[in-house]
Amino acid sequence: MLILAGCPSAYQRSYEQKTEQLEAQQRFNQQQETLAHAQAQKYAAVVYFAVSSDAIDDDGQRQLRWFVQQMQPYPQASFNVQGFTDSTGSEANNQNLAGQRAANVAASLNSQGIAMSRIVTTGFGEAYAAETNATTQGRRNNRRVEVTVR
């Protein structure tokens, strides 16, 4: 009678090797995803708006087309689309306007092939001003939507 207790079978060794290979491949894939995410995070888009408007002008559309082109190598990337206003108008109107601006930018991204499931929109109204609202240029820079990689 032959006793093989404690000796791994060829099947067991093959199974362990395959498991190690799969685990190594999984670690590699995770590293690649992390690297791709870091690369994608280098890009952002900012779209500016006219007073009390949620319409994306030609410059804004150009900016979004550029951004979508930069994101082509990163099909797993997801995005924050955050809308802001200047301090012109009531706080409630600004909150709604910021949300509508963000929604319009998200719709533009979607029309260019980015799934809505990859986009989170938020309207901040006049909160988080990029510049002072005391100047014309400052107010212009506050009427914006920022698109960033999450």
Q: Residue 7 has what pLDDT? A: 64
Domains in the chain: boundaries: 11-40, 43-149
What CATH homologous superfamily does 43-149 map to?
Answer: OmpA-like domain (3.30.1330.60)
- What is the C-alpha to C-alpha distance for residues 131 and 128, in angstroms, rounded to an integer? 9
**Dihedrals φ, ψ of 108, to 5°?**
-65, -45
Q: How far, in Å, are 8, 34, 37, 44 from residue 145 at the CA level?
A: 61, 26, 21, 11
Q: What is the pLDDT along the chain (150 residues), one digit of tens a residue?
A: 555 555 667 778 888 888 888 887 888 777 777 776 677 678 899 999 999 999 999 999 999 999 999 999 999 899 999 999 999 999 999 999 999 999 999 999 999 999 999 999 999 999 999 999 999 999 999 999 999 998
On whether the pTM is more than 0.85, the answer is: no
User: Which of 143, 149, 150, 147 is CA-nearest to residue 52?
Assistant: 143
C-alpha distances (whole Å) from 14 to each of 10, 18, 109 are: 6, 6, 48
**What six digits make up the tokens of 21?**
């290979």
Distances (CA, A) of 38 to 28, 34, 125: 15, 6, 29
